[in-house]
Amino acid sequence: MTRYRPLIMFAVGITFIYWIISLHKAPFPYPRNIILTRDVIFGYSYEVYKPDGIFIYAQNDWVYLTAIWKGHGSDFDDATGLVKQYRRPLHLLLSSNNIFDPNNKWQLLYIHRFEGPITHISSYYHENNPMTSNNDFDENNALAVLYQKQEQEQIQYVLRLYNIGNFESGSADFEYVECKKHSSTCHNYPSFKYQDIILPGTTKIKSFHVEDSLILYSRNPDHAKFRTIQIPRNIFDIGKRQNEVLVIKSSESGPTQRITREEPSKRKTLTYRRVYAASGVIRVMNAEITADEESWTFQVTVIHNSSSVDDTSWRIKKLISYTQSSPKRAEYEQFDFVHGITPTSPIAIPKPIVVTARNMTTICIALNDILFTFDYSNATSTSDSKQDSYSKEAYIVRSEYLPVLEELPFQVLGAEVNANGNILLLVTQENYILIFKRGLADIHLPSLTRSRKGWFYRLIDDNQINNSNRATSINGENWELRMVIASSYLDFLSQSDLGVIAVKTLNISKLQPGYVGKNVTENILLTLFENGNVATFNLDKAEQEMKLWFIIKRRWQMYLGMICVVLVFVWHEMH
């Protein structure tokens, strides 16, 4: 028996190492990769020339990429905004057989340099019908770019609206300047239809968003909480000469507020979004964070007016209020009489990530490790709805903690929700992509893609306990985390050193006939990396288990040390 002791020791050690490796496998499945293109457009000096905004659109059989630099210049005194527009065929991203197709690459359409720095960017749907818009491929995509323009001693705010995918018709006064290596205004192709609008007022615009052809913005200082301007329906068809702009003389003001001087220690951030309401009513959701040196409060309210001509008042309804305080600002350390007081830094204020479904009936807000969901409902029989006493409409509010992934600090940097409001994507600071599903999008998910979390993971997962104790809402509309694309899987795709800068979910069953094959999935995910590479994933099918070699490669130093320890024990038993 003694002669078998080294062999037994070796077998036990290797078994223990394999068990440790198994614990590091992803607890959630990840979607099947369709194709990964390697088409660098931003260069390898991405951190130096990092765009301030990235937008992806799908229209007909094209994927459009808009890269925006708010202040692109040699110094801040002469900084001007810059927009670069790209496109590539969508159907070539739906099959791995097209990876070597010469047309499967980004095409630079044009570059537009603005007359001043860009302050705000917003994507919206032009002439949208909120209750019937569930198509990702129609021609209503639009982009709003707000920039400053200096006129002698005054500052003007100019809004440029682009109609994505709809090109200007060739005309005699249109100047074609081929885009080479310079970054001035140039065109390889005609630009999208666009219109410049000069907004009224000169005070600083603090928040800005466009939704359903309604400009929603707030100024500081201003007696109105926010202001609205309705975009003309034929804004892109207005006959205009080159460089002619549309001047707006006035705006509609929202509810009034008192202008007060805030304490220097207090900070406030505001985010306004238009949400769905009955005809003739403007309903706005306000996500607000108020913070001082010791705590911050996150509050969401709904503000709406009346459709009646006689009643012009605004009504405000609070939906949620969440407060978080910092630990003690001073602690006494025993035996340290010189440095007995340990000051702490001011509390970190999170940035809420707000995303709205195209039909404006679903709003998701990610705040640190908490996900808030607001669903519009005209049925007020549920106990968890926030009903307005002046309306039969209500919002069902849901909040849930996001899962802990590898004990990393959780911070959401981006979010995307599909047109139907049943697929939600969250991109974290650690390059994780969390894929949530609910409703009809979750029913079609095969049982293979359900969570692979074993009993050991559930035993130590506090969020699993919290979720099991939480009552389930009606109609199964709670978000369920079904898939996770971890940074380790990006290493599998040789993209671990590149950050994810944009994601887009598409239901390609609405694509033009002739491009979708019999074996093509309905829901796909477009992932854009910081150098311009694109990866597409099948959200309806799970990938096979990650190869053992890539798991070992990620933590090879730890596994090598464990093998050395096992070999030392084996050598000791042999001698």
pLDDT band for position 207 (cuts 50, 70, 90): very high
pLDDT band for position 139 (cuts 50, 70, 90): low
Cα 6 from Cα 425, distance rounded (Å)? 51
Specify the pLDDT at position 23. 65
The tokens for 443 are 């029913």
Assess whether pLDDT exceeds 80 at residue 467: no
The CA-to-CA distance between both ends of the chain, in Å, stands at: 15
Conformational region of residue 429, where left means phi above 0, alpha means psi within -120 to 50, and beta covers everything else? alpha
Cα 24 from Cα 19, distance rounded (Å)? 9
pTM: 0.80
Q: Of 368, 371, 373, 500, which Cα lies nearest the Cα of 432?
A: 500
How far from chain centre, in Å, is Cα 565?
Answer: 45
Question: How many of the other CB atoms lie within 10 Å of CB of 77?
Answer: 6
- 207-211, 255-259, 445-449, 558-562: least confidently modelled range: 445-449
Strands 267-275 and 480-485, by their bridges, are: unpaired
Amino acid at 103: N
* Three-class SS state of 66: strand
Strands of 534-542's sheet, edge to edge? 31-37, 534-542, 523-529, 500-507
The tokens for 185 are 């205004």
Cα 141 from Cα 511, distance rounded (Å)? 15
Which residue in this structure is represented by tokens 């596994």?
559
Q: What is the pLDDT of residues 348-389, one digit of tens each?
A: 788 899 999 888 889 999 998 889 999 988 764 444 445 444
Specify the pLDDT at position 295. 87
Tell me the residue ranges of DSSP E strands in 46-151.
53-59, 62-69, 82-89, 107-113, 118-125, 141-151
* Residue-wise burial string across 84-94, b where 16 or more C-beta atoms lie within 10 A, e elsewhere: bbbbbbbbbbb
Decide which of 407 and 442 is more confident.
442
HSE value, Cβ hemisphere, 13 Å, CA-based, for 40: 7
Which residue in this structure is represented by tokens 């990393």?
408
Cα 271 from Cα 367, distance rounded (Å)? 13
Q: Which helix (H) or strand (E) holds 443?
A: helix 440-443
Q: Of 306, 307, 301, 287, which Cα lies nearest the Cα of 350?
A: 287
pLDDT band for position 329 (cuts 50, 70, 90): very low
Residues of the chain by 3-state class (helix, strand, coil), percent to 5: 15, 40, 45
Cα 86 from Cα 502, distance rounded (Å)? 14
Strands 141-151 and 154-167, by their bridges, are: antiparallel
Segment 193-209 mean pLDDT: 93
Assess whether pLDDT exceeds 80 at residue 519: no
What ranges do the domains of the chain cover? 25-554
Segment 32-54 mean pLDDT: 77
* Residue-wise burial string across 246-279, b where 16 or more C-beta atoms lie within 10 A, e elsewhere: eebeebeebbeeeeeeeeeeeeebebbbbbbbee
Q: Of 51, 116, 45, 60, which Cα lies nearest the Cα of 84?
A: 51
Specify the pLDDT at position 245. 86
Helix count and strand count (H, E) for the chain: 7, 31
Strands of 227-230's sheet, edge to edge? 204-211, 214-220, 227-230, 252-253
- 2-6, 153-157, 279-283, 527-531: least confidently modelled range: 2-6
Decide which of 164 and 390 is more confident.
164
The tokens for 564 are 């050395």
Amino acid at 447: S
